[in-house]
Structure 1
């Protein structure tokens, strides 16, 4: 019944479960209450009275922190995807916004916004609702009733039930906000993929309606800054093991610079402040022992999930470069080659028409050659990070070679006919094929040779010639050349066509043979990049359309649309040789 599946994670705090009273309030907090001149015995609320008779900032803060940890994130794995918080009241929504702003000041008040119908700033182009739907920020809409129903935001990946719901109909209408699938032609950078959405239920709503939804699956989405820190740390550890002292010191310096980018006013970093003090000791970095590396990996690395104020496209490229340099250090040739091809593809998508990119034209072109990568050094890796990474924000993805769509009146300028028989009669290909099949199926009743074939017996070469002559003399004057043309198969023999018409064996058309061969090739080369797959798709269509292929065609249009050097710019020499073997076999088929 849903367009998109959902998973549910139940979040319930101690105060929600057991209420707020002397038994549940921590001793430290009890002391603060006494100092304020209040009596502990007077504080006695049920969990269901939260946000009604009693307001506890700590409960809301805990819900928000759990959400920030568990929510479905964007492609970079740092910020939550588009989210609706269903709040109890407008005051509740505003308190939640204040908590978001105080816990995560690094987002400068842009992460979460209150969107309620009474606020005139919500409406119109450029209003808060428009921003939520069409802009990167805000990511979180704190709503009271307004967004419960009727709103269509396909990129919604998180719904937070921060209030109890008692209407079954309304409950499913609220869930319906997240069920819409993405439109492939209208993808937005903050949501490039959506196979399910997450519901965080903070008030046992599913239990109230006696529903047992699928629980949240841990998909292990690792934020990009965490991945970069992790691969650099692995490179340092490898350099130390290989006694590459100069390299390890250089990468340690980069790691320290990375640590300096942690947002110091983030609640996550403030909580870890005591642990991070160890890093301020110079002795920590003098000799990185296995214990220190374990500390960096288990304690420091996860903190990088808080890094959001950065150029993620540049960071992604840097991560790729560190990965390929690590593969080279470990002499993992296959992995190095695979990563290299991916990086070359990224670089090839930089538009040289942009002035700032044109300044690095020489490095861009040089870094796409096999020679460059065969002699690459650590200094070259550093140069790529320094000069090319900042340009990645201008990168243009390859435009899919899909047909443009119009609705224009057209007329027939050419229609394919076949001529047959001594009178040179003409029929469309489809009509002639229909006549052939009708005639052969009629003759089965009276022709002994066709009967033998129908019964699964073989006939001799002489009998085949005899059958061919008989069919040629019968209207519509069937010949091997005409059969090859109308069945789109250039190499099949006469008896194969007859068996195909009689339903004894399936005869693949040339396009089917080509498509099957290409599908097998791609399955055997599962590592092919998106650009290489696009090239193979274009090559398949070219062969089907033209019925022939010369080696020189592969460095001419339309293949130069994918890369200026055609096949040479997309595949390695060894891969090109494999492709030529494939195409040669098809041309002979």
Structure 2
């Protein structure tokens, strides 16, 4: 484990420790290392300062939310160390309007009928594309748009080095297949490089050093850590919710001309900028206040906190079965805290009483707060966590709390039923589990008391690792689509994006506003004389 590894060294062993990618919840992941060693520590990240978690600044003793040293992308571009990007956006009709049978023409409706589908049952949002439905002609139109506008190599014939960011492995494979069907004259031009690729290391090296492939289609693999200076096209074939991730993806294209070893792959033999072709209207200039790095609460800590809330609800009647069961469950969790872990050792003297029976004789709100703040977080160090079992347990404990507090239980019950319905036959037919499974899948769960819900956890939680994969109702269509929107984007005023049509509208509105309200214009309209100073002011 991490504890066993770093504790082989003395706290003073290292004079300097450097952490890379420190935006990634460093307080949770590397807290033990930070607390254990005495050496100086430096944290590095390419993430804009506004998107770094506050804990990270505190860990590295920064002043407020200001990094010790900052070299922003804009400055690197101004000083020619990196190159700027040109954003281009395009979306098809189906992306913007969705695929709805009631809106399709007769030819498309007939095509659905020939496929054995009822047209009026087809009702997909644009955001469902490549998640629950795929339309071949949409991919065709996206590739056509790419080939029309992408930065080409020195010959002007082939695309320059390009990374396409796809949603899923099947999406990446569909993109590659459609491209190869459309452009058979360019064999080897495109290659799928993902974590599932057999020889991904060789494929990345080939993409970096050889003429072909020119287009690498990736799924969460080439987003970070890949250095191909000649990349001049980034294609966003998916929506990216995290601005931190989007920034890392953009970074794949920022290397300047001096870093390039193959000018023949570059437009006119030079790299002055790179092109971002965005098919999903991603926010390239998100406000840092709108997003912070999400802090994931470990599932065991989440269960612990839910059980503490159960105690709070039942604190006025400590003799109830639910109170006693919850106390037993909490003590069982506390027994799993590894006392040999460094972070546990250093605070053990503060919390050792929770292992003693006397602590639990009479629980108070103060003690519950103590458990939440001091003890629960230590469960992050528990070894050998069965995540599937713990996740199921968390849902059932949450259902107990919802039942006792009068909150809606529908979504939680549906999630529990979905989990249980995916258990294989050998689990469902087991005599000791049959009753619990029946209770989950029947209306009984809607009225089950906390004791019955605890029995469900005991019977089924450790079987969640045996669940079958979800049934995938993915639908593949081939209906005619077309590009509904296409435009380059101007960047101005602190990098805010303005579409060309929108920019024109804003200018025209401003001119009309001035015409309607400016006193000098009014004088001219009325035929009155105006002076030179007035004209200059206008």
Q: TM-score, normalised by structure 2?
A: 0.39
- Which protein, 1 or 2, shows the higher relative CO under an 8 Å CA cutoff with sep ≥ 6? 2
- As a proportion of its length, which structure holds more strand? 2
Q: TM-score, normalised by structure 1?
A: 0.36
Larger radius of gyration: 1
